[in-house]
Amino acid sequence: MKSFQLREAIVDLLVRIEQDSGYSHLLIDHEIRTRDISPKDEALMTEIVYGTIQHKLTIDYYLESFVDRKKKLKLWVRMLLRMSLYQMQFLDKVPDHAIIHEAVEIAKHRGHKGIASLVNGVLRSVQRKGVPDTAKIKDDTKRLAIETSHPEWLVKRWKNMYGFQLTRSMCYANLERKPLSVRVQPLKISREAIMEELAELGFETRKSDFSEQGVIVDEGNILHTRLFEEGYVTIQDQSSMLVTEMLNADSGMTVLDACSAPGGKVTHTAEKMRDEGTIVAYDLHAKKAKQIQKKADQLDLTIINAKAADARELQELHDKETFDRILIDAPCSGFGVIRGKPDIKYNKQEEDIEHLAKIQAEILNSVAPLLKKDGLLIYSTCTVDKMENEDLVKRFLANNPEFQVDNTFFEELPDKVQTSPGVSEIGLQLFPHSFSTDGFFLTRLKRV
Ligand SMILES: C[S@@+](CC[C@H](N)C(=O)[O-])C[C@H]1O[C@@H](n2cnc3c(N)ncnc32)[C@H](O)[C@@H]1O
């Protein structure tokens, strides 16, 4: 694909992502799968699209100084300017004059001379004058929000919950690339054999400390290798693997996963149980329940029975005290996975967090009675927010004295995590800057 065509396709994709917010990763995947794109163009497209979204608010702050506020830009023109500015400010692959030339050509092709001249004028001014200095913003919170492209309300909220320094580290970490981590299917192959094969193929890998099945791939795309295609490994963040490790499910147990799609943790659980026992896996959406079954089949796992149901109504389907282990990996605001899904930070409002916390509490309250005495229940989310995590669990424990945090949980955490700032008497909050994992909360409750 010619460079001009690739850049124009990126503008189209950015427009679609802006209109259909919340699904950047799916839209990018779809674009790459349906177009005939070389691996080199695929990498460049991914880098520019993710980078432009990741730095959107910073770029818009820069643009404000160069675009007349009264001028209402068409969406595609704004995306063209954002994409070009991203390349000029954050990448050093292409010289500025070439980026500007290409942007002007795209503007001519899609619009008319007037738009081309506006695009040329804005980008040449940026090139000549440089972007405004954010160090001049007096308010710390506002400056951090603009420099790291997070909404100001979210930075304020985190600052109130976790303090400024931690929030700062988290916001900067959210701009970085996370190493890929994969889970080995231990019933088919060992971790050592996988690492050897990947080394032969030229990939650099490390063992994860979070799970004996985890491997971190520092460089390279393993999605097109046979190991992935034949179900020897599956992509999973280390924090998610830790959830299943902490569930401690064993062969022969009866396990419930109340919110299980797309099936990462439930398939890991089946592997830990050596595919012996019973797992019932629910998700609200029938289509997603099918996804779980497909994932289980890909990994040759047979004990998972995936169905659609609302987790808040499972008492109608199961008797109390039925399960040895329960996992509630609740629907959440997703602020822990901003690195992989950058548009999450722009699409949520504070009211959404309150709404989600209400659903999470309803799920926990209605699912917990299904746990057997001495059984273990994991509550987890892929977010960083006390309302959805510690505060919610604290309230549950206050209202349900037959449950308590299982104190052996903390001893079982990886050594380096045991003393991390995210550990409290309620559970573990992993921050994205601490161990290069997703931001994740988990706790283990025991029915006593
Ligand atoms: C964080 S995801 C779960 C990820 C999954 N545990 C994994 O490891 O792949 C939360 C899931 O909960 C589902 N969900 C949302 N509301 C639900 C409800 N009321 N009952 C059951 N599932 C629900 C969503 O469809 C979503 O797939």
- Answer yes or no: is pLDDT of 205 > 70: yes
CA 299/CA 294 separation, integer angstroms? 9
217-234 average pLDDT score: 86
pLDDT level of residue 311 (50, 70, 90 thresholds)? very high
| Domain tally, the chain | 4
Active-site residue, 332 included: no
Counts of helices then strands in the chain (DSSP H, E): 21, 13
Q: Choose the residue to mutate in 26, 236, 255, 259 for probing ligand 1, maximizing ligand atoms within 8 Å of C-beta.
A: 259
Domain co-membership, 217 together with 261: no
State the distance from the centre of ligand 1 to the C-alpha of 263, rounded, in angstroms: 9
Q: Among 138-147, 173-182, 376-385, 425-434, name the one with the lowest average pLDDT.
A: 173-182
- Which residue, 311, 309, 318, 328, is CA-closest to 392? 328
At 107 the pLDDT is 97
Same domain, 242 and 314: yes
What's the pLDDT tens digit per position in 243-270? 999 999 999 999 999 999 999 999 999 9
Q: pLDDT exceeding 70 applies to what percent of the chain?
A: 100
pLDDT of amino acid 127: 96
Binding residue per annotation — 264?
A: yes
Same domain, 69 and 9: yes
Residue 433, class by beta-carbon neighbours within 10 Å (0-12 exposed, 13-18 middle, 19+ buried)?
Answer: middle
Do residues 242 and 223 both lie within one domain? no
Same domain for 31 and 123, yes or no, is yes
pLDDT at res. 93? 81
End-of-domain residue from the set 132, 160, 188 = 132
Same domain, 7 and 38: yes
- Domain range for 433: 238-447
Q: Do the annotations mark residue 427 as ligand-binding?
A: no
The pLDDT value recorded for residue 222 is 84
Mean pLDDT of the chain: 94
pLDDT at 1 over 80: no
Pocket of ligand 1, beta carbon within 6 A: 240, 259-265, 282-285, 288, 310-312, 329, 331, 363, 382
**One domain for residues 283 and 195:** no
Element (H, E) at 396: helix 390-399
Q: In this structure, which residue's CA is closest to atom 27 in ligand 1?
A: 261
Considering the domain architecture, whether residues 254 and 187 belong to the same structural domain is answered as: no
Asked if 320 and 442 sit in the same domain, the reply is yes
Q: Starting from the edge strand earliest in sequence, which strands make up the sheet with 233-235, in order?
A: 204-207, 214-219, 180-184, 233-235
Per-residue model confidence (pLDDT) at position 22:
60
Q: What is the rounded CA–CA span in Å between residue 325 and residue 347? A: 34
Tell how far the Cα of 259 is from the centroid of ligand 1, in angstroms. 4
pLDDT at res. 165: 98
